[in-house]
Amino acid sequence: MVVLIETQLKRLVSYAYTGELEVSAASAKAMYIAAYKLKMEGIAKSCGEHLVNSLTPDSCLAVRALPGIATNTRLVSIVDQYIQQQTDLLQVTRDTLGVPKILLNVIHGSKDEANMTSRALCNLSLEWVRKQMEEEELSMQMLQEKTYLLYLNLDNSLHDCADIQTGSANDTELVQDYKKISRKLSQPNLKVRRKVSGVSQPAKPRMMLFSRSISDDDNPQDGDWKLISFSKVSENSLVAVVTLNNSVAVLSIQQQVNAPEETNGDSGNSRPPSVEKVDSYTLIPHMRSP
């Protein structure tokens, strides 16, 4: 593609002197990028119109990601409508060069908790990614470095499982393994995220969990952050096309049930709490014989 763009740049320089230019369908994309770089609006507009009017399932995301397309309201509307009409969104999002893909794994404490609409889950995922980029200052590159393990908190928002309190009922083996991987991938120069008190999800009944109902209308969308389209590719997986700060991206969302581990209660204990719960161990020296 780089060689093609350089070739088109040379042709555009020649066009500035001769006033003649022929663009084939195969070179329209490279010509559009070259014309956009040189701010030759007339040629860029013509090539952009051709690309938008010649969309295919394999090309629509790449066209949507082109510089300049996202700032053209009319062209964006045409491309987004085309993407929404595709029945096989997995084909649309497969092997798309230049389009970021963020991998999310959402765990649920029960099957009932996992019973939410696909749109609602996509909206929650989009809201979480937006928070990471705006508040935690994570770049798009950082968000692609690993698969994020998330859980649904009491406020019906997604949170990183790395924030689950160590030793709690929700600190399952799956969560512990994820924490280890996250520590290995973390970089010293990254801003340390502050853990909000009470962010860990306690073992509560579902009626407490859904204190604020999750609906399809819970959508953080605006012009720069929106859910374009989504599709359920299997019983427990979704794929969504979104815009993140006005840049098109793909969210791959997996769901799985990860029930909290049972903890021993205090009922039936005959010993006092000070004996039942030992915070630390003390080495007792051997007794000497007289």
- Asked whether residue 78 falls in the same domain as residue 222, the answer is no
pLDDT at 247 over 90: yes
- pLDDT tens-digit map of 100-141: 999 999 999 888 888 889 999 999 999 999 999 999 999 999
pLDDT of residue 281: 29
Q: List the domain range (segments joined by +) for residue 70.
A: 2-88
Q: Are strands 148-152 and 101-108 parallel, antiparallel or unpaired?
A: parallel
pLDDT at 44 over 70: yes
pLDDT at 244 over 90: yes
pLDDT at 284 over 60: no
Radius of gyration of the chain (CA): 26
- Asked whether residue 72 falls in the same domain as residue 109, the answer is no
- Asked whether residue 75 falls in the same domain as residue 116, the answer is no
pLDDT band, very low/low/confident/very high, at 231 (cuts 50, 70, 90): very high
- Asked whether residue 83 falls in the same domain as residue 133, the answer is no
pLDDT band, very low/low/confident/very high, at 80 (cuts 50, 70, 90): very high
Summary mean pLDDT of the chain? 79
- Asked whether residue 159 falls in the same domain as residue 52, the answer is no
Of the candidate ranges 81-90, 189-198, 244-253, the one whose mean pLDDT is the lowest? 189-198
Residue 272 lies in a domain: no
Nearest 10 degrees: Cα torsion 221, 222, 225, 229? 60
In sequence order, the β-bridge partners of residue 103 are: 252
At which of 30, 56, 88 does a domain end? 88
How many structural domains are present in the chain? 2
At which of 88, 112, 142 does a domain end? 88
- Which percentage of the chain shows pLDDT scores above 90? 46
Residue 169: partners with Cβ closer than 8 Å, 6 or more residues away: 202, 203, 260, 261, 262, 263
At which of 35, 62, 88 does a domain end? 88
pLDDT band, very low/low/confident/very high, at 226 (cuts 50, 70, 90): very high
